[in-house]
Chain A
Amino acid sequence: MRVSTLNAMIFIKFSVACAAARILDSDIPPAYGPRGFWGGEGYSHPLAAWVEGMADDARDEKGSEKGPADEAALSARLRTLGSKLGSTQLGKKAEDSSSARPVADPSAMARGFRLSTELVAGVLVGAMFGWLLDRWLGISPWGLIVFLLLGFAAGVVNVMRAAGVAPGSGGSGSETNKR
């Protein structure tokens, strides 16, 4: 009898602790693991800010577009359709733009892999270009040397761009960052 009541008490305590743990878990952002691993709040991928910036640019640029007539007609139709859709989904749109868009890049591994391929691709293209130049022009090691270095620089630029870090060139640095 006593054993069973003890068991029951232990069970109750355990379940209360579990519930508390769950509440704590949901309230406090996880302090363990990579920051914003599952798209947690407080984390925004650098790509996101970059992408938002580009979207703003696109909206600004709309007035100055040019092109053949059919293209203009098509874009005009698209715009009217867009405005119609916008008026029907106004509430949703407003909600969308006010809250930060959740970026679907949850895996840190994928991000790391993206950055590393960017670097490797730059170096590879530089090496290939230099090697071809050597073969065509007969400037034996110089093409490879120069273009390998340039390719490395291009790879680093790629990585900085992909990571959303503003590359040098002045304080703002947003000229190249937006692209």
Chain B
Amino acid sequence: MADPIHQFEIKKIATLGHIGGQEIAFTNSSLFMLIAVATISLLMLGPTMGRRLVPGRAQSLAELSYEFVADTLKSSAGAEGMKFFPLVFTLFMFILTVNMIGLIPGTFTVTSHIIVTAALSLLVFFTVIFYGVYRNGFKFLKLFVPSGIPVYILPLIVFIEVLSFLSRPISHSVRLFANMLAGHITLKVFAGFITMLGGFGIAGWIGAALPLALTVSLTALEMLVAFLQAYVFTILTCIYLNDAIHPGH
């Protein structure tokens, strides 16, 4: 039976150079990131080159994705949050495209590695900290001091708030990574059952119909999860950015 973990293996394609004895390699992960970026550029730049008042199919796709992310951002971070639209839109489109490309059999799912999702969520985390301090100065620390708390339990609350703040990048990244990893392993295991049962002759072929049907329906579910996780990542990014813009609420 095929190894269900095998699909997550990082393979080196080319060596770019060395930094301090550490090899910098162009891997299959980098390749699929590049493919995702190329796909997004094609989908976003291509149709919007010749803009038309009545959009065609491709242009309407680009406009829909713009409006979707813009609405999400405006509704959770306010009109001022639109300053971060490029960041949020890039994150959403990148994660969505990478997830969707990963669903094509034989491809590599970039977001199934925690290092990738952790890098994305740390980017959001540090953006929140730096912009929050830059915009609000010391008032940013009001984030950790909820108003209306009695003084005698304030130290405890501050500790809890700080820990809660620090736990954000972990839950932010683990959610996307674990969903992708678990989904792809499940798909692979059920697909493996088909070939296993197929080896038992006619009865096995009949029995293999069940895991085949399950694999098909799981693929549909995975498409939903791929979109949903991209959306959840985006809306949490918006909520965290709202904290940077309006701390102390």
Give the interface of A toward B (CB within 8 A): 47, 51-52, 54-55, 57-59, 61-62, 65, 67, 71, 74-75, 78-79, 82, 101, 104-107, 110, 113-114, 117-118, 120-122, 124-126, 129, 147, 150-151, 153-155, 157-158, 161, 169-170, 175-176, 178-179
Contacts and interface: CB of A to CB of B under 8 A. Distances in A.
Nearest to B149: A169
21 contacts: A54-B76, A55-B74, A57-B249, A58-B81, A59-B78, A61-B78, A104-B231, A110-B179, A110-B229, A114-B232, A117-B178, A121-B168, A122-B163, A150-B159, A150-B160, A153-B160, A158-B167, A161-B164, A170-B148, A175-B249, A179-B243
Contacts of B249: 54, 57, 175, 178-179
B83 A75 contact: yes
A113 B80 contact: no
Nearest to B75: A55
B175 interface: yes
Contacts of A150: 156, 159-160, 163
B209 interface: no
A125 B78 contact: no
A80 B214 CA distance: 52
B80 A58 contact: yes
B160 A157 contact: yes
Contacts of B78: 54-55, 57-59, 61-62
Helix, strand, loop or mixed for chain B's interface?
Answer: helix
Chief secondary structure at chain A's binding surface? helix
A78 B225 CA distance: 34
B166 A129 contact: yes
Contacts of B149: 169
Given A57-B249, A79-B79, A107-B228, A67 B135 contact: yes
B100 interface: no
Contact of B75 (A52, A153, A155): A52
Q: Sort A-B residue pairs by CB-CB distance and give the 4 closest, nearest first.
A: A58-B78, A121-B171, A154-B163, A121-B170
Contacts of A158: 164, 167, 171
B21 to A, nearest CB: 27
Contacts of A147: 163
Contacts of B74: 55
Given A58-B80, A82-B79, A113-B179, 20 more contacts: A52-B75, A54-B239, A61-B78, A67-B135, A71-B83, A78-B79, A78-B82, A101-B75, A105-B228, A107-B228, A110-B229, A110-B232, A117-B170, A120-B171, A122-B164, A124-B167, A154-B163, A169-B148, A175-B148, A176-B146
Interface string B145-176: 01111000000100111011011101100110
B28 interface: no
Given A52-B75, A57-B78, A179-B249, A107 B225 contact: yes
A55 B76 contact: yes
A158 B172 CA distance: 12
Contacts of A58: 77-81, 242, 245-246
Nearest to B135: A67
A178 to B, nearest CB: 5
B232 A65 contact: no
B224 interface: yes
Interface string B218-249: 00000011001101100100010011011001
A59 B175 contact: no
A125 to B, nearest CB: 4
